[in-house]
Structure 1
Amino acid sequence: MATYSTIQTQTVSADNGVDYAYRSVGSSTAALPLLLLQHFRGNLDNWDPALIDALAQERRVITFDNTGVGASSGRTPNTVAAMAADAIEFVDAMGLDKVDLLGFSLGSFVAQEIALHRPDLVNRIILASAAPQGATGIHGWHPDVIAAVGGQEPSPEGYMRVFFTSTPAGQEAGQAAAGRIFGGRTDGHDEPTTWQTRLAQYDAVTHWGIPDHARLQRLQGITQPVLVANGDSDPMIPPKYSHLLAGLLPDAQIKIYSDAAHGFLFQHHKEFAADVNTFLGRQ
């Protein structure tokens, strides 16, 4: 079977006029496809191939660049709602009637919106490093975080500070994950994300974080089973928001990974993949 580091990027044209770049690995027909929604500034190349390959052992896993991101055409919108509408356009273009969702960071916001706007499309949901819309304290990231990952040019040092803890174990795991993510593919790389994408995505993040307790009530509309997960030391989206989210969702379970930050799912990729596969296998 092809691996995530060797699978070629494909393109599908949607009714909204966008040509979406995507990769699909795994071919099991025994389970629903798992659609992955990427983090702030991330493209197809920013997924950990070890995580994708572990998930793809039991199902088809699809990663894609949303509108204006990486090799996909169009202009990145500046609201989560618009990003969710564009993601639904991609799913429709792929001819998928129902999917499981795994949203990471900004992608977890998009996953929540997809589940609210097209509930019949979504079976189960994994929200990694997530926060609910309207929660107090997430109206923009801490200055240290945005300085680390929000500059004109991506910073490897900033990435390591935000995605992995400063402990020896955390830094060792971070170096290993960075080697897999940034060194695993030898050709067919995705296009880098642009400054326009970065600005639009951060606008979407800050809009999502405007304090509004009434917005929290919307979560009652997500009735699918949800797995909420985070690292215990995430500086970008602290785990208290995972607990808040899990407490507000009608059918949720939560797991917090130890000595881990924003990139817990890459640091603990074997454990996280096993947890996801177990969760998705419960019918």
Structure 2
Amino acid sequence: MDAPTAHSAVNTPTRFVEVKGRRLAYRDIGEGIPIILCLRFRGILDSWDPAFLDALAAHHRVITFDYSGLGQSTGEPSYVRRRLAQDAIDLADALGLERFIIGGWSLGGIAAQVATRLHPERIIKQILIGTTPPGKVRFGAKPLFFERALKPVNDLDDEIVLFFHPESQKSRAAAVASHDRIAARTTDVSPAIPIQTVLKMLAETQAEDIFVDDNGYRDFLKTTDIPVLVISGDKEIVFPVENWFDVAPQTKSVHLMVFPQMGHGPQHEAPRICADLITSFIQNG
């Protein structure tokens, strides 16, 4: 008999659950404590670096998904924060997960914080990568981010600028390696989000603050006992890590890790280090 195929992020099949009138697409690798990961702005299932997911799945059950109406999921697309968070909760319900770790990258980190605020009894720990604390912050995204992030189609050079540190040769090389790992999956790939859909969703969420503190999110972050790991690069152009320097000392459970000479996607530049850090935090934090 042939040995069963070992599933990795590159070859695991996309699965679907029907919940509340829409179909959520997800992928599920590894065993152990479940981790649900929420996507970045314009992200789809195939925006995650397989090396990061596989390293994390060596010790945990790792679940990624497409938000409603995006990628391979059906329903009404929206970047309203509560709706993104609800996608994660509904997926957990459909998979029978009473308690789990929630994580997110960039916009997904905001969704993870909202989900935790709304359902703290279900969240074991939080993993926040390249994201922002709630409410007003001192430092905003650099204009270069918007110039690149809102192009109709992003190429490798855009990825280098958006997620890495283009002034570092080491970071540029890491960007190419990560791009190639993501491109290794050639079947069952989620379609990119059309720019028209992106702009429509942005118009629904325009506000002075990128993470509007309309439900006591910052106060919750300051007082919660749920352990929170924040991972950021010191060359972050979207959500400058200095904003976490302002908030973290006022909290009880935020652990802040800053990677030198890295940008918005440290888990893609140093996938194994980030996965090892997260694993250690889950086991010991």
Q: CA deviation at 1:210?
A: 6.7
Asked whether the 8 Å contact 1:130–1:241 carries over to 2, the reply is no
- Percent identity (aligned): 28
Q: Quote the residue 2:64 is aligned against.
A: 63
Asked whether the 8 Å contact 1:99–1:122 carries over to 2, the reply is yes
Q: CA deviation at 1:138?
A: 6.0
Aligned pair in 2 of structure 1 residues 121, 198: CA closer, same or farther (>3 Å)? same
CA distance in 2, matches of 1:262, 1:91: 27
Deviations 1:112-138 (A, max 9, x none): 001100011110111111212212346
Asked whether the 8 Å contact 2:117–2:217 carries over to 1, the reply is no
Q: Which structure 2 residues correspond to residues 44-193 of structure 1 after superposition, within 5 A?
A: 44-137=45-138, 141-166=141-166, 167-181=168-182, 183-193=183-193
Moved more, 56-65 or 216-225: 216-225
CA distance in 1, matches of 2:138, 2:164: 22
Moved more, 78-87 or 92-101: 78-87
Aligned with 1:18 (options 3, 17, 22):
22
Question: Match of 1:172, as an amino acid?
Answer: A
Deviations 1:149-171 (A, max 9, x none): 11222233222112111211110
Q: CA deviation at 1:37?
A: 0.7
CA distance in 1, matches of 2:70, 2:278: 26
TM-score for the superposition, normalised by structure 2: 0.90
Q: Quote the residue 2:246 is aligned against.
A: 244
Q: CA deviation at 1:241?
A: 2.1
CA distance in 2, matches of 1:212, 1:203: 16
CA distance in 2, matches of 1:216, 1:263: 24
Aligned pair in 2 of structure 1 residues 111, 45: CA closer, same or farther (>3 Å)? same
Moved more, 116-125 or 197-206: 197-206
CA distance in 2, matches of 1:249, 1:202: 32
Q: Which structure 2 residues correspond to residues 213-232 of structure 1 after superposition, within 5 A?
A: 216-220=218-222, 222-232=224-234
Q: Quote the residue 1:275 is aligned against.
A: 277
**Structure 2 unmatched ranges of 5 or more:** 1-5
Q: CA RMSD in A?
A: 2.1
Q: Quote the residue 1:258 is aligned against.
A: 260
**Structure 1 unmatched ranges of 5 or more:** none
Aligned pair in 2 of structure 1 residues 44, 202: CA closer, same or farther (>3 Å)? farther
CA distance in 1, matches of 2:150, 2:163: 13
Q: SS state of the match for residue 174, structure 1?
A: helix
CA distance in 2, matches of 1:211, 1:70: 26
Q: CA deviation at 1:93?
A: 1.3
Q: CA deviation at 1:12?
A: 0.4
Query: How many matched pairs?
Result: 277
TM-score for the superposition, normalised by structure 1: 0.90
Asked whether the 8 Å contact 2:233–2:266 carries over to 1, the reply is yes
Aligned pair in 2 of structure 1 residues 36, 212: CA closer, same or farther (>3 Å)? closer
Deviations 1:194-244 (A, max 9, x none): 335423157547565277697532423532001111001011111112323
